[in-house]
């Protein structure tokens, strides 16, 4: 599924997609994917595991929190030795996330 999502454009054919699990995705592909996931009107659950060490997580968190219908998110970050700074407010709509699990290894 990873190669499928990264190699295809996310368009209306994915409109009913409700859940995605992405394993072993590099940082550059993750950011690109998160930008496009905002176009999915039914995406309720997202589970991501990275392969790269990511020092600055702000952009990734902001992209996840801006997903309009996301209710559940699990994010596992490999090789991350950074401090976590989740923005309290970014002057936009409140995130609908009800379940959030972040793991650093």
pTM of the predicted structure, to 2 decimals: 0.79
Kindly state the average pLDDT of the residues 68-95: 74
Question: Are 76 and 48 in contact, with CB atoms under 8 Å apart?
Answer: yes
Angle at 33 between CA 87 and CA 56, to 5 degrees: 35
Nearest by Cα to 75 from 22, 29, 37, 2: 22
How does pLDDT run across 25-47, given as a tens digit for each residue? Answer: 888 888 888 988 988 999 999 99
pLDDT greater than 90 at residue 61: no
Helix (H, G, I), strand (E, B) or coil at 26: coil
């Amino acid at each position: 599924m990873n190669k499928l999502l990264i190699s295809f454009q996310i368009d209306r054919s994915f409109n009913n997609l409700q859940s995605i699990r992405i394993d072993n995705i590099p940082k550059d592909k993750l950011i690109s994917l998160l930008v496009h996931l905002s176009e999915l009107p039914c995406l309720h659950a997202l589970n991501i595991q990275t392969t790269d060490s990511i020092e600055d997580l702000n952009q990734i968190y902001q992209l996840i929190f801006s997903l309009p219908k996301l209710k559940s998110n699990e994010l596992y970050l490999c090789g991350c030795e950074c401090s976590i700074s989740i923005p309290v407010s970014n002057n936009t709509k409140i995130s609908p996330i009800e379940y959030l699990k972040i793991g650093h290894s």
